[in-house]
């Protein structure tokens, strides 16, 4: 349990919070690189996303005549809410005061806040594509959010806490008993993560074919620093889900004390886990095709079903056992 | 404040509401009297109710009084305690802002043909009725006040009675209100026959056998559930609430539905007292059904006020989910999670009163400025009505349960209560509670989609019709009222611990135990159970959001190019788009309509347009009409056709029936 008044814990929280935007483009670049190699291409450097962000930041931002003030505020809201959500996820250590400030439900709420503003921004200019993207995004999230909450509630019920730090600490102290509920929750949360971060087979982050876009359709009218913020926020969200899956289900190496050695160990462990997860994502994106939009509900219902099975197998099999 | 003073303040509030009704009688001669006297009196009534409610919650005791009214052997009893105080506060908060909002809104009606006497008079009676329901301490006064509330609101629903749809809505409302009232009356009958008379004190002392208690619960749940618009008895609500003038809709959705919640809590938790967990299961199931159905139908609506009415069904569903959890936990011997769920229900009731009031007032100000309720005609209102746009956005974010606004707090508390399900002994209950949680999560996400649609279509984009393009911001009173409610939504989201400290008096009084640890870490931390289990610090979340924004915004301006150039929309390089090419409200909801197609009764038709083209029309019907209402109506009509045979028009036959009745009655009496 984090000591909420300790300055060193807050300092560590600040470092972790800064690591998220710093590392997020790297993960995106890594996934792209692995995918390129799997497709027999050389691919751009893993640092390419940093260059793209820099390019966008330096460019002039253009705003449509028909845009309202909300259009210019939305990138900041999306970025800030996503970043704060990321800052509550234990990256290196479980001793995280921000996880006490905001638990898993708040994390889901902050991501929902970012999503609502993203969708509103899509509808603001009044083009057909923006509204289309917003409508699809809200449909996908309406089905993905219950699955995500069910998956994290399985963990929360096991740990008797909705605090992410406590959940991971409980799992670490659990001596890695293989629980059926965790397997279901892991499968459910992975499917949700694919949907929420807009990856194949739900959405294609590299598409520019108008009728298949979801995320791209909403940010279509953005340029310059506004677009940079939106893209950066999407990368942070990918890293957030990666860390969530990596550190909850495979908590090896997460530091439980603030000693420098264990922190370095934690960093090395999380980088390794993310590299593996990113590789798996790239492989999945290489072998899978994007689904038709109306296949996505079946995909997400599967996620919800898995997550619910996890929760039920926990309350039926594991409570009191 | 002493509790006796709070009772006098509550009495003053009732008197002010009645005064407002009486003053309105003059409106036939001087129309301005509604604007300058009746509405300010309502505002004062709200303030008095707030003071009375706060006094009762802070003092925590109870005070009673006997009024020299009613029947000689059955005087009226009134009582104020923490539960009554909480609902007085809720009524007062919305009523107070109506006092601010009303004058400007009524001004628009002064030129019309609608009777201001009816509007002002019945509004005052309506409020007096609601206040008296909360204050009543015997079944007699309760039922009278309940009927005053129902009848007065009937006349308000039928206020613009020139339109046949409004008359039909009002009749349906009256019918349902009476079926519900009858059910409540029968419930009181069960309680009174076991107790010693109609006073609540004797009902509280009565010992009911479990079977009779369950019967009483069933009747009470049916009656109040009908009034609260729970599915499948909700079909009257989306007809009736939008028909009334907008601030009356705010009162009906925001406040009157909460009076039904009050009645349910008072009768089940307080008067019956000895709750049973199967009731909790029933309430949980109906609540989940209402939440999900309400959310789905709200998303499908294109009439803004109708959409808000369906969203009330959904929110009352959430309140009843929390109440169901409270019943389950209490009967299984877990008072702490029970109190948590109970507080979550109260918190959500208060939140819903505020944001639904705000949203209905917003819809009213759009109606006032553009005479438009149809979302498909709106667009770009944020630039025409910036203040309303800002306040409406706060209402949307609150109702969509996003941090750090108030809707999120009550949803968080409900989730926290549901997550205590592992403590339950029965495996069936342990697995059903999480399913209700999944429904709640799905509902929350659908509500977010609904209000993205509402805000995106109405306030963003470009105007879809000429009168919306020329909208003007409303008068200051209209904006100030919305601003007040929006500020309350933000405050209740930022300082939940203080609010719970206030509400906690209610479970302490009704359940015998509150949330002892809620404020154990100070006002900064919301702790439902223990600090290790869960914690949420709304002020810190808000502070961190602001701090990061304060870092990012100037940072971006420094790094990047400073200039922002205005240009045409890019739109993938297609030809300049017109307002008609925007996504419409119906189109926005289409994916969800397709996913949940089984639940809706969709009629798609092609209608020829004047200019020779075709218009594609979609009507989305409520299946509860076909499945429940229409069969019932046919049954009643069939029964009526049989009874009609008695009416032959022949006096001798009638006399014969009278004789038979008399003989049967004599036989019953003598037996």
Task: Say if A80 is an interface residue toward chain B (CB within 8 Å).
Answer: yes
Q: Mean pLDDT for chain B?
A: 91
Quote the pLDDT of residue B41.
Answer: 95
The HSE-up count of residue B85 (CA atoms within 13 Å, CB side) is: 34
For residue B464, what are its two tokens? 């879809």
Distance, CA of B398 to CA of B408 (rounded, Å): 7
Establish if B561 belongs to a structural domain: no
DSSP H helices in B265-334: 277-300, 304-331
Summarize pLDDT for B437-470 with one digit per residue, the tens.
999 999 999 999 999 999 999 999 999 999 989 8
> Could A225 and B588 be called an inter-chain contact, meaning their C-beta atoms sit closer than 8 Å?
no
**Cβ burial, residue B15 (10 Å; 0-12/13-18/19+):** middle
Q: Is the pLDDT of residue B428 over 70?
A: yes
Angle at B429 between CA B423 and CA B433, to 5 degrees: 85
Task: Say if B355 is an interface residue toward chain A (CB within 8 Å).
Answer: no
Pick the residue of A21, A61, A98, A127 with the most B CBs within 10 A to test the interface with B by mutation: A127
Q: Please choose, from the candidates B257, B250, B83, B128, the residue with its C-alpha nearest in 3D space to the C-alpha of residue B180.
A: B257
> Could A166 and B532 be called an inter-chain contact, meaning their C-beta atoms sit closer than 8 Å?
yes
Closest A-chain CA to B439:
A146
This model of the complex carries an ipTM of: 0.95
Q: Is the pLDDT of residue B400 over 80?
A: yes
Establish if A156 belongs to a structural domain: yes
Closest chain B C-alpha to A94 CA, distance in angstroms: 13
Q: What is the mean pLDDT of residues B258-268?
A: 96
Closest B-chain CA to A221:
B570
DSSP 8-state secondary structure symbol assigned to residue B255: I
Q: Is the pLDDT of residue A2 over 70?
A: no
> Could A64 and B566 be called an inter-chain contact, meaning their C-beta atoms sit closer than 8 Å?
yes
Nearest to B445 among A128, A134, A146 (CB): A146
Provide the β-strand partners of residue B619: B603
> Could A62 and B588 be called an inter-chain contact, meaning their C-beta atoms sit closer than 8 Å?
no
Distance, CA of B79 to CA of B372 (rounded, Å): 44
140-179 in chain A: CB under 8 A from chain B:
141-146, 149-150, 153, 156-157, 160-163, 166
All residues of chain A having their beta carbon less than 8 Å from the beta carbon of residue B431 are: 312, 315-316
Spatial neighbors of A258 by CB under 8 A, at least 6 apart, are: A8, A9, A12, A93, A95
| Exposure class string for A255-285: b at 16+ Cβ within 10 A, else e | bbeeeeebbebbbebbbebbbebbbebbeeb
For residue B400, what are its two tokens? 């969509």
Closest chain A C-alpha to B171 CA, distance in angstroms: 36
Distance, CA of B364 to CA of B485 (rounded, Å): 14
Quote the pLDDT of residue A205.
Answer: 78
> Could A102 and B403 be called an inter-chain contact, meaning their C-beta atoms sit closer than 8 Å?
yes
pTM above 0.90, yes or no: yes
Pick the residue of B544, B575, B579, B585 with the most A CBs within 10 A to test the interface with A by mutation: B544
Closest A-chain CA to B589:
A135
DSSP 8-state secondary structure symbol assigned to residue A292: P
For residue B529, what are its two tokens? 């159970």
Distance, CA of B166 to CA of B144 (rounded, Å): 26
Whether the bond between B232 and the residue before it is cis, its omega within 30 degrees of 0, is yes
User: Range of A155's domain?
Assistant: 7-318
DSSP notation for A9-64: HHHHHHHHHHHHHHHHHHHHHHHHHHHHHHTT-----TTHHHHHHHHHHHSPEEEE
Domain count, chain B: 1
249-308 in chain A: CB under 8 A from chain B:
293-294, 297, 304, 308
Contact yes or no for B457/B375 (Cβ under 8 A): yes
Establish if A1 belongs to a structural domain: no
Angle at A104 between CA A100 and CA A106, to 5 degrees: 80
Summarize pLDDT for B610-621 with one digit per residue, the tens.
888 888 888 888
Nearest to B430 among A100, A134, A315 (CB): A315
Domain count, chain A: 1
- The larger pLDDT score, comparing residue A99 to residue A244, is at A244
All residues of chain A having their beta carbon less than 8 Å from the beta carbon of residue B592 are: 138-139, 142
Contact yes or no for B9/B59 (Cβ under 8 A): no
Q: Is the pLDDT of residue A212 over 80?
A: no
Summarize pLDDT for A255-299 with one digit per residue, the tens.
888 888 989 999 999 999 999 999 999 999 999 988 888 899 999
Distance, CA of B84 to CA of B113 (rounded, Å): 39
Greatest alpha-carbon span in chain B = 99
Distance, CA of A302 to CA of A146 (rounded, Å): 12
Distance, CA of B309 to CA of B312 (rounded, Å): 5
All residues of chain A having their beta carbon less than 8 Å from the beta carbon of residue B561 are: 58-61, 224-225
Establish if A105 belongs to a structural domain: yes
Summarize pLDDT for B284-312 with one digit per residue, the tens.
999 999 999 999 999 999 999 999 999 99
Whether the bond between B656 and the residue before it is cis, its omega within 30 degrees of 0, is no
Q: Please choose, from the candidates A107, A168, A115, A163, the residue with its C-alpha nearest in 3D space to the C-alpha of residue A139.
A: A115
Spatial neighbors of A249 by CB under 8 A, at least 6 apart, are: A182, A185, A186, A189
Summarize pLDDT for B181-193 with one digit per residue, the tens.
999 999 999 999 8
Highest-scoring range by mean pLDDT, A52-61, B450-459, B618-627? B450-459
For residue A130, what are its two tokens? 């923006």
Distance, CA of B253 to CA of B351 (rounded, Å): 12
Whether the bond between B404 and the residue before it is cis, its omega within 30 degrees of 0, is yes
Distance, CA of A184 to CA of B351 (rounded, Å): 35
Main-chain dihedrals φ then ψ at residue B536, nearest 5 degrees: -145, 130
Contact yes or no for B156/B248 (Cβ under 8 A): yes
Nearest to B560 among A135, A146, A224 (CB): A224
Closest chain A C-alpha to B574 CA, distance in angstroms: 10
Quote the pLDDT of residue A175.
Answer: 67
Contact yes or no for B246/B314 (Cβ under 8 A): no
> Could A113 and B403 be called an inter-chain contact, meaning their C-beta atoms sit closer than 8 Å?
yes
Closest A-chain CA to B435:
A308
Nearest to A126 among B437, B462, B563 (CB): B462
DSSP H helices in B108-163: 116-135, 139-157
CA distances (Å), B426 to each of A84, A318, B53, in order?
39, 13, 39
Q: How many other CB atoms are there within 10 angstroms of residue B151's CB atom? A: 18
DSSP 8-state secondary structure symbol assigned to residue B374: B
Summarize pLDDT for B340-368 with one digit per residue, the tens.
999 999 999 999 999 999 999 999 999 99
Task: Say if A221 is an interface residue toward chain B (CB within 8 Å).
Answer: yes
> Could A143 and B382 be called an inter-chain contact, meaning their C-beta atoms sit closer than 8 Å?
no
User: Range of B649's domain?
Assistant: 623-670
Task: Say if B627 is an interface residue toward chain A (CB within 8 Å).
Answer: no
Q: How many other CB atoms are there within 10 angstroms of residue B470's CB atom? A: 11
Closest B-chain CA to A293:
B591
- H/E stretch holding B601 reads strand B601-608
DSSP H helices in chain A: 7-38, 48-58, 69-87, 97-101, 104-124, 128-159, 164-173, 180-196, 215-218, 224-249, 260-287, 296-313
Q: What is the interface size between A and B, counted as CB pairs within 8 Å?
A: 283
All residues of chain A having their beta carbon less than 8 Å from the beta carbon of residue B572 are: 129, 210, 220
> Comparing A1-10, A214-223, A278-287, B573-582, which segment has the lowest mean pLDDT?
A1-10
β-strand pairing of B614-621 with B601-608:
antiparallel
Contact yes or no for A125/A132 (Cβ under 8 A): no
Main-chain dihedrals φ then ψ at residue B603, nearest 5 degrees: -115, 120
Nearest to B452 among A125, A134, A293 (CB): A134
Nearest to A63 among B457, B564, B583 (CB): B564
Summarize pLDDT for B270-287 with one digit per residue, the tens.
999 888 999 999 999 999
> Could B461 and A149 be called an inter-chain contact, meaning their C-beta atoms sit closer than 8 Å?
no
Spatial neighbors of B107 by CB under 8 A, at least 6 apart, are: B35, B475
* DSSP-derived 3-state class of residue B616: strand
- The larger pLDDT score, comparing residue B494 to residue B530, is at B494
> Could B402 and A116 be called an inter-chain contact, meaning their C-beta atoms sit closer than 8 Å?
yes
All residues of chain A having their beta carbon less than 8 Å from the beta carbon of residue B565 are: 60-63
> Could A134 and B583 be called an inter-chain contact, meaning their C-beta atoms sit closer than 8 Å?
yes
Quote the pLDDT of residue A176.
Answer: 65
- The larger pLDDT score, comparing residue B649 to residue B335, is at B335
Distance, CA of A24 to CA of A29 (rounded, Å): 9
Quote the pLDDT of residue A290.
Answer: 87
* DSSP-derived 3-state class of residue B618: strand
Residue with tokens 């900041």: A76
Spatial neighbors of B273 by CB under 8 A, at least 6 apart, are: B204
> Could A59 and B561 be called an inter-chain contact, meaning their C-beta atoms sit closer than 8 Å?
yes
Quote the pLDDT of residue A302.
Answer: 94
Nearest to B460 among A109, A120, A161 (CB): A120
Q: Is the pLDDT of residue B560 over 70?
A: no
Region for B328 from its dihedrals, namely left if φ exceeds 0, alpha if ψ lies in -120 to 50, beta otherwise: alpha
Establish if A216 belongs to a structural domain: yes
Distance, CA of A259 to CA of B237 (rounded, Å): 61
Closest chain B C-alpha to A46 CA, distance in angstroms: 23
- With bands split at pLDDT 50, 70 and 90, how would you rate the model's confidence at A172? confident
Nearest to A129 among B412, B435, B571 (CB): B571
Establish if A164 belongs to a structural domain: yes
Establish if B255 belongs to a structural domain: no
Q: Is the pLDDT of residue A321 over 60?
A: no
* DSSP-derived 3-state class of residue B536: strand
Closest chain A C-alpha to B559 CA, distance in angstroms: 7
Contact yes or no for B133/B145 (Cβ under 8 A): yes
Nearest to A116 among B448, B545, B591 (CB): B448
Establish if A44 belongs to a structural domain: yes
Q: Please choose, from the candidates B176, B595, B464, the residue with its C-alpha nearest in 3D space to the C-alpha of residue A300.
A: B595
Distance, CA of B213 to CA of B187 (rounded, Å): 9
Closest chain A C-alpha to B540 CA, distance in angstroms: 7
Task: Say if B599 is an interface residue toward chain A (CB within 8 Å).
Answer: no
> Could B534 and A62 be called an inter-chain contact, meaning their C-beta atoms sit closer than 8 Å?
no
All residues of chain B having their beta carbon less than 8 Å from the beta carbon of residue A113 are: 397, 402-403
Report percent pLDDT > 70 for chain B: 100
| Exposure class string for A102-132: b at 16+ Cβ within 10 A, else e | bbbbbbbbbbbbbbbbbbbbbbbbbbbbbbb
């Amino acid at each position: 349990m984090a000591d909420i008044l300790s300055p060193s814990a807050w300092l560590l929280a600040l470092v972790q919070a800064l690591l998220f935007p710093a590392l997020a483009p790297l993960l995106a670049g890594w996934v792209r690189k692995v995918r390129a190699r799997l497709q027999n291409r050389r691919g751009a450097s893993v640092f390419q996303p940093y260059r793209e962000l820099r390019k966008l930041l330096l460019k002039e931002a253009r705003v449509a005549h028909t845009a309202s003030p909300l259009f210019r505020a939305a990138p900041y809201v999306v970025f800030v809410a996503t970043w704060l959500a990321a800052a509550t996820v234990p990256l290196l250590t479980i001793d995280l005061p921000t996880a006490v400030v905001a638990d898993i439900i708040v994390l889901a709420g902050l991501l929902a806040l970012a999503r609502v503003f993203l969708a509103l921004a899509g509808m603001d200019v009044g083009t057909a594509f923006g509204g289309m993207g917003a409508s699809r995004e809200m449909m996908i999230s309406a089905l993905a959010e219950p699955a995500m909450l069910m998956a994290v509630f399985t963990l929360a019920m096991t740990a008797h806490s909705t605090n992410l730090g406590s959940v991971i600490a409980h799992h670490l102290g659990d001596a890695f008993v293989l629980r059926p509920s965790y397997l279901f929750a892991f499968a459910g949360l992975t499917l949700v993560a694919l949907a929420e971060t807009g990856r194949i087979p739900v959405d294609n982050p590299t598409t520019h074919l108008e009728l298949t876009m979801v995320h791209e359709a909403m940010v279509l009218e953005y340029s310059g620093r506004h677009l940079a913020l939106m893209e950066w926020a999407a990368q942070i969200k990918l890293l957030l889900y990666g860390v969530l899956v990596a550190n909850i289900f495979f908590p090896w190496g997460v530091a439980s004390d603030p000693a420098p050695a264990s922190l370095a160990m934690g960093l090395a462990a999380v980088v390794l886990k993310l590299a593996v997860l990113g590789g798996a994502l790239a492989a999945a994106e290489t072998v899978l095709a994007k689904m038709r939009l109306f296949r996505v509900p079946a995909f997400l219902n599967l996620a919800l079903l898995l997550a619910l099975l996890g929760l039920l197998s926990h309350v039926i099999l594991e409570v009191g056992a | 404040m002493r509790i006796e003073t709070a009772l006098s303040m509550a009495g003053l509030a009732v008197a002010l509401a009645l005064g407002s009704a009486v003053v309105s009688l003059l409106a036939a001669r001087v129309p301005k009297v509604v604007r300058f006297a009746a509405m300010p009196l309502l505002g004062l009534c709200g303030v008095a109710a707030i003071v009375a409610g706060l006094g009762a919650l802070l003092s925590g005791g109870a005070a009673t009084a006997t009024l020299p009214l009613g029947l000689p052997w059955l005087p009226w009893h009134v009582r104020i305690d923490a539960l009554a105080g909480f609902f007085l506060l809720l009524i007062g908060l919305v009523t107070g802002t109506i006092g601010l909002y009303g004058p400007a809104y009524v001004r628009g009606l002064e030129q019309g043909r609608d009777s201001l006497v009816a509007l002002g008079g019945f509004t005052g009676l309506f409020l007096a009725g609601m206040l008296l329901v909360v204050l009543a301490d015997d079944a007699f006064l309760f039922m009278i006040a309940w009927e005053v509330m129902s009848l007065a609101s009937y006349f308000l629903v039928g206020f613009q009675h020139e339109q046949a749809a409004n008359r039909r809505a009002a009749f349906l409302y009256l019918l349902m209100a009476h079926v519900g009232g009858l059910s409540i009356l029968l419930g009181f009958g069960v309680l009174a026959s076991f107790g010693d008379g109609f006073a609540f004190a004797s009902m509280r002392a009565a010992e009911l056998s479990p079977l009779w208690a369950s019967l009483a619960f069933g009747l009470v749940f049916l009656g109040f559930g009908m009034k609260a618009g729970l599915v499948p008895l909700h079909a009257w609500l989306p007809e009736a609430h939008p028909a009334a003038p907008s601030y009356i809709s705010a009162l009906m959705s925001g406040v009157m539905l909460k009076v039904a919640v009050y009645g349910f809590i008072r009768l089940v938790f307080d008067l019956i007292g000895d709750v049973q967990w199967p009731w909790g299961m029933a309430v949980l199931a109906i609540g989940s059904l209402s939440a999900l159905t309400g959310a789905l139908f709200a998303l499908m609506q294109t009439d803004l006020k109708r959409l808000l009415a369906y969203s009330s069904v959904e929110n009352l569903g959430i309140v009843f989910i929390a109440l169901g959890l409270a019943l389950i936990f209490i009967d299984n011997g877990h008072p702490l999670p029970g109190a948590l769920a109970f507080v979550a229900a109260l918190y959500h009731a208060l939140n819903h009163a505020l944001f639904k009031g705000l949203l209905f007032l917003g819809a009213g100000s759009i109606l006032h400025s553009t005479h438009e309720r149809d979302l498909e005609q709106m667009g770009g209102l944020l630039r025409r009505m910036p203040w309303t746009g800002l306040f409406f956005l706060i209402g949307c974010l609150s109702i969509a349960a996003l941090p750090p606004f108030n809707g999120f707090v009550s949803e968080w508390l409900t989730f926290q209560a549901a997550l205590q399900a592992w403590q339950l002994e029965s495996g069936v209950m342990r697995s059903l509670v999480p399913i209700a949680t999944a429904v709640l999560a799905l509902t929350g996400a659908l509500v977010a989609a609904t209000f993205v649609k509402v805000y995106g279509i109405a306030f963003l984009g470009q105007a879809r019709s000429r009168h919306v393009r020329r909208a003007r911001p409303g008068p200051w009173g209209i904006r100030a009222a919305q601003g007040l409610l929006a500020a309350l939504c933000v405050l209740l989201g930022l300082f939940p611990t203080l609010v719970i400290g206030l509400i906690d008096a209610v479970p302490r009084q009704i359940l015998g135990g509150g949330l002892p640890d809620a404020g154990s870490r100070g006002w900064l931390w919301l702790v439902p159970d223990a600090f290790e289990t869960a914690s949420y610090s709304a002020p810190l979340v808000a502070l961190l959001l602001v701090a990061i924004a304060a870092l990012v915004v100037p940072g971006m301006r420094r790094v990047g190019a400073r200039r922002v150039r205005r240009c045409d929309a890019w739109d993938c390089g297609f030809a300049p788009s017109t307002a008609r090419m925007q996504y419409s409200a119906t189109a926005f909801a289409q994916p969800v309509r397709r996913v949940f197609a089984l639940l809706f009764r969709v009629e798609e038709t092609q209608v020829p347009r004047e200019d020779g083209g075709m218009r594609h029309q979609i009507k989305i019907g409520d299946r509860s009409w076909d499945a429940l209402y229409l069969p019932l109506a046919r049954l009643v009509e069939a029964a009526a056709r049989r009874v009609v045979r008695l009416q032959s028009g022949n006096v001798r036959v009638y006399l014969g029936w009278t004789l038979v009745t008399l003989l049967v009655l004599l036989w019953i009496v003598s037996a």
